[in-house]
Amino acid sequence: MRQFYILTLDPNFLSVVKWIKENKIEFDAHLNRTRFWIPEGEELMTFLLTWGHVCTPVDEKADLITGKRD
């Protein structure tokens, strides 16, 4: 699974959330962003081609407070 997020104030937010819901993607809604996980495969490729330029990947090894990797 690959993790991404989109900020709530992003102009594409509603379109991305619609795509997430239509494709039954696991997500966590937060006040300022929505995080979601996409399984490897065709669904990930479709996502990257459609929304990869809008959504930010999350590095599982990075400290979310400092942004530094372990």
- Beta strands 2-7 and 26-29: pairing type? unpaired
The predicted structure's pLDDT at residue 60: 74
Q: Report the run of H or E that residue 51 belongs to, with start and end.
A: helix 42-51
Against a cut of 0.95, is the pTM above it? no
In tens, the pLDDT along 1-53 reads 999 999 999 999 999 999 999 999 999 999 999 999 999 999 999 999 999 99
Q: Report the run of H or E that residue 14 belongs to, with start and end.
A: helix 13-22
